[in-house]
Structure 1
């Protein structure tokens, strides 16, 4: 496996995680008739049913389980870098909070040096996201628990917006009958209609379903974030990226041109670039144009999550631009 370039901590680019069109019959975990639980031989750890210690013997099975839903591999060493061990523990805890949206695979590089060598791990700590067996670097820093939680929330929101709604089955302590060949992926029934619409490529319907949830319960933060992200996806569908960037370059104060590029940046994971573009637009414009740019930026804040550190910085920058 060739080594991939690693992004700076906190810069999440999900473009490498988009599912390719199937080129043949599905195989491995997640295929019809395959166990949804996957990863045989990998024992649950950390008090979570969605975290496993990965050994050189179970590594392939863990990778195959990424056909069902994302696997986040965290590479750590408690002896060489204790903070990397803390990151592994935190990821295990969060895997339980996310209830199967991802499987945390804990890789102790001292106990399983062959895995680190095969993945060409440059340093620890490191979190690598695996989807459909394909790895993409996600984090290279031992973030505090709250920052890690908000970062993962954004990742899962973006994957949901791309129609990736699968969940892992619990490895232990789950509902009776959850394991086995007839097990089905768990989807929170509140969000199932919206997620099903996204999986079918019907973004307009997904927006409508999320809107119903928000209207019924404005305090539902996950529904609000899902609605905001689905609206981003709705706006970027079928956009000619080169044409959009050329239009934005030619018309730096055109609100429609600039907000479209901000949407594209956010969708591609360039969160800070999207925020900075609209903050500067607010700074340069006035009247209705400024109001439109500000409202659009607030929508992007909601899509990322109001507790995200980048949103907090973006709000400070917006306040400075306004006053």
Structure 2
């Protein structure tokens, strides 16, 4: 895997039609336990139904072998990170030696190989070992691609029970439902209504910032945005676009550094505009996040 993986466009679907549909089975390690998991072992019988899940959320396929330690370590990391996302991603583990037909479908030349399926289309992620932070960055980019293609919901776990969540207030639920449908304008309206009823509703405020971020980035192309920002360093809109995309893609520190540096060069209304965007992005990431705390210190030095 390269130092920083990129997500190509989802093109060139492989022929998966020869693999039959069957009931999904959870991994043996999770069977009979109560801890929720969105990870499963795949065979030729269960693979096609797993592919069908990619119409709802990104479906990640890890082609490896239990006899190769690099594969075992990678699958352990992938499982932890996928399960932590509570159904916004699913993971299928394939023993490429036991099921070579699946490996051939992805034209795998060596293992481990990790590929995502988005709306049935393969999206190569990385090959070989990967550190946790690298996987997180790739997952962030994959989430961005999924949102652009209208996949922003979740699916139930394959095994175990997800931790019960308290019911959302009606307007919050209305916003979440709208996000799942890709209707960001309706979601924003619901959060604004909630804030009108309760101005100190922190969850609604953060939700509003999140949905605005999704709305701003849904039609942006990362490469085009970066090129525009590099060519026009004083173009505020271009710089803000790249910062938004960096947050969505998991490059949080890069986004914060870009905006703090920009604020240092600005004055008056332009400075305030960028500062407000940065505060919104702080809230999206979470004010207790150490990256936010570090950036706030740098912002304070610039402002005062």
Task: Calculate the TM-score normalised by the size of structure 1.
Answer: 0.62
Q: Provide closer, same or farther for how the CA distance between residues 118 and 248 of structure 1 changes in structure 2, counting only shifts above 3 A.
A: closer
Q: Measure, in 2, the Cα distance between the counterparts of 1:239 and 1:98.
A: 24
Query: Which residue number in structure 2 is paired with residue 50 of structure 1?
Result: 38
CA deviation after TM superposition for structure 1 residue 203, in Å: 1.8
CA deviation after TM superposition for structure 1 residue 133, in Å: 0.9
Answer yes or no: is 1:60 the counterpart of 2:48. Answer: yes
Answer yes or no: is 1:231 the counterpart of 2:219. Answer: no
CA deviation after TM superposition for structure 1 residue 105, in Å: 0.4
Query: Which residue number in structure 2 is paired with residue 118 of structure 1?
Result: 105
Q: Provide closer, same or farther for how the CA distance between residues 274 and 51 of structure 1 changes in structure 2, counting only shifts above 3 A.
A: same
CA deviation after TM superposition for structure 1 residue 44, in Å: 0.4
Answer yes or no: is 1:194 the counterpart of 2:175. Answer: yes
Q: Provide closer, same or farther for how the CA distance between residues 306 and 162 of structure 1 changes in structure 2, counting only shifts above 3 A.
A: farther
Gap runs ≥5 in structure 1: 1-5, 19-27, 29-37, 176-186
Answer yes or no: is 1:203 the counterpart of 2:191. Answer: no
1:267-308 Cα shifts (integer Å, max 9, x gaps): 677767655543442343345533432432343354456788
Q: Measure, in 2, the Cα distance between the counterparts of 1:188 and 1:156.
A: 25
1:158-193 Cα shifts (integer Å, max 9, x gaps): 746864244334434459xxxxxxxxxxx9953642
State the secondary structure of the residue aligned to 1:57. helix
Q: Measure, in 2, the Cα distance between the counterparts of 1:308 and 1:12.
A: 25
Q: Provide closer, same or farther for how the CA distance between residues 50 and 63 of structure 1 changes in structure 2, counting only shifts above 3 A.
A: same
Query: Which residue number in structure 1 is paired with residue 69 of structure 2?
Result: 81
Q: How many residues align?
A: 282
- Within a 5 Å distance, the mapping from 1:2-21 to structure 2 comes to 9=4, 11=5, 13=7, 16=9
Q: CA-atom RMSD, angstroms?
A: 4.8
Q: Measure, in 1, the Cα distance between the counterparts of 2:263 and 2:26.
A: 49
State the secondary structure of the residue aligned to 2:60. strand
Q: Provide closer, same or farther for how the CA distance between residues 153 and 259 of structure 1 changes in structure 2, counting only shifts above 3 A.
A: closer
Deviates more, 1:109-118 or 1:157-166: 157-166
8 Å Cα contact 1:163-1:195 kept in structure 2: no
Answer yes or no: is 1:293 the counterpart of 2:262. Answer: no
Given the alignment, which residue of 130, 137, 147 partners 1:142? Answer: 130
Query: Which residue number in structure 1 is paired with residue 22 of structure 2?
Result: 40
CA deviation after TM superposition for structure 1 residue 106, in Å: 0.8
